[in-house]
Structure 1
Amino acid sequence: MVVWTSAWLHGAAASDDVLDALHPWAESQEVRAADEELATRLDLPGPDQPPAGPALLLAALRKAGAANGELVLPVPGDVRGLGGAGDFARLALRTGEAAVLRDAGLGLVPQRVAEGVLRWTVFEVGDLPPAEHMPIGEAEHGMSSAMREAASTLIDLDIAKHRPGVREEIASTVSSRPQPPWPQDVPQRPLRILQRASEVEAILWVATDDAPGGALSASASRARTEALRPLFDSVRAARRASVAEMVRVIADRAGKH
């Protein structure tokens, strides 16, 4: 959503392409505003009205003066990009993801409300803290370093055990993640890093999923969690940096035409 809406707002993608790109995440997409005042201002359905389709969201973003989107991936203890404890921040933290369109003062939070149905709720977010910029090379290096350190720590703790079929589990987890198309001419490096982040995340979920009969003691489980937390954080940072780099390149190219 962040990359495609940014491409559309800069004239680098057609609206139909944006709508098609959302399909891998859910067959049906719907949109509504978080409150009646915002609904009136953006010509969107309010919280008590039937939601609209995503085409109306694109029109609302244009009307609001949106330009570049930002990806936010909050977790407890790290709510960067949310700007306070309002309704937007609470829902974004609960879902673990959101899109911020700083120029328009809007935030979008996706929720799965039914099988195959993804609802985007639009919030007014007001002033937000300055966006944190992480160079994509730093994010990539951080993920690689965190992976090496986590592997070493788990070995030292003697809780990195062999598990039959683990490669198949990881491959299945990666392949089950939606594979959306991307706008034409987006840079390849952030795409590679996004793919790598998905692979690392799959490894993390397998590493934290105890095989039947192989549950760790409470202390070992805590040690494993502490060892893997920096790697989870680095995956989120790599995703944010990759999306930010794609948006930056799209905006730069649009500015040169």
Structure 2
Amino acid sequence: MSSVTDTVSLTARRSSRFVAWVRAWRAGLVPFDEVAESIAAGEEHLVADAPGTWTDVPLADALPSLAKHSPDDIRLVLPAAGDPRGLPGPGDFSGAALLAGEAVVTAGLGFVPQVRSHTSGSGMTFETVLWRVFPLAADAPAASLTMPGAAEAEAELASVLAETTMTLTRLDVAAWRPELAGALAALRRPDGVTDLPPGFDPRARRLFARAAVLDRVLVLAGQAAPGGAVNGYEAQQRDAALRPLTTACRRALVAACNAPLRP
């Protein structure tokens, strides 16, 4: 696996996996024993301040606090500066969610992931994910219902992606990040890959597959700044071109993960 692939794979939204798998579990579509492992995807996940606990606990030990929630009580939010949609209002949870750029909203509880880096005695660096739990109002998930549905989000993403690709081609994107240009081109082809659990319809699966890959590509673009653009003006043009695509991508991920489930 290349260093580029490593970078991309590590930027997947952890809250999207949390929401998708917990919702499927609460709908009776996947067994509880699979949920924590599927969310963690090989990482170590701990939870701080979970109800009934006094210290950090493994993710599997904290998930029973959601055992009485319905699938519609569990929602993904991907807030950004100037775009706090889906958050229940000002407070500690909303501040932490904005800082992380992602969170899980449930009836009574909010979960925000924090990535912590550690260095062992031998000098090796490794990471753990700590989900911090915040108390929320019982009607908190209702705030995210104003987000677009899967059909609207899919149309928006396709339109913005086409416009952005044309702009980046004009800016000679291949000269500053060849793998990003290739990834953008690949996204225009049908992609049958999906990471969603059972219960999501084909549109939600298709939307999530495209948006999840694109989300990682956009992180690469941010890490590449100022990239190989000839001058600062071109770098600003590139960033301006990517901004609406970033917004459309966030909306697509939210719409896919919060889509109605089917038995």
Quickly name the TM-score band, shorter chain normalised. 0.7 to 0.9
| TM-aligned CA distance change 1:85 to 1:233, over 3 Å | same
| TM-aligned CA distance change 1:20 to 1:181, over 3 Å | farther
Counterpart in 1 of 2:165?
Answer: 151
Distance 1:130 1:184 in 2: 22
- Is residue 111 of structure 2 the alignment partner of residue 108 of structure 1? yes
- Is residue 58 of structure 2 the alignment partner of residue 53 of structure 1? yes
Residues 136-215 of structure 1: matches in 2 within 5 Å? Answer: 136-154=150-168, 158-163=170-175, 166-167=178-179, 182-207=196-221, 209-210=224-225, 214-215=228-229
Gap regions ≥5 residues in structure 1: 34-38
Q: TM-score, normalised by structure 2?
A: 0.74
Aligned length: 225
Counterpart in 2 of 1:36?
Answer: none
Residues 1-257 of structure 1: matches in 2 within 5 Å? Answer: 1-24=18-41, 26=43, 28-33=44-49, 42-45=51-54, 50-62=55-67, 65=69, 67-68=71-72, 69-101=74-106, 104-114=107-117, 115-126=126-137, 128=140, 129=143, 131-154=145-168, 158-163=170-175, 166-167=178-179, 182-207=196-221, 209-210=224-225, 214-245=228-259, 248-250=260-262, 253=263
State the secondary structure of the residue aligned to 2:174: coil
Over residues 61-99 of structure 1, what are the superposed CA-to-partner deviations in whole Å (9 max), with x where a residue is unaligned? Answer: 225x45431111111111111122311111111111101
| TM-aligned CA distance change 1:25 to 1:226, over 3 Å | farther
| TM-aligned CA distance change 1:238 to 1:168, over 3 Å | closer
Shift of 1:240: 0.7
Distance 2:78 2:42 in 1: 17
Root mean square deviation of aligned Cα: 2.9
Which of 1 and 2 has greater Rg? 1
Gap regions ≥5 residues in structure 2: 1-17, 118-125, 187-192
State the secondary structure of the residue aligned to 1:249: coil
Q: TM-score, normalised by structure 1?
A: 0.75
Shift of 1:181: 5.2
Shift of 1:133: 3.9
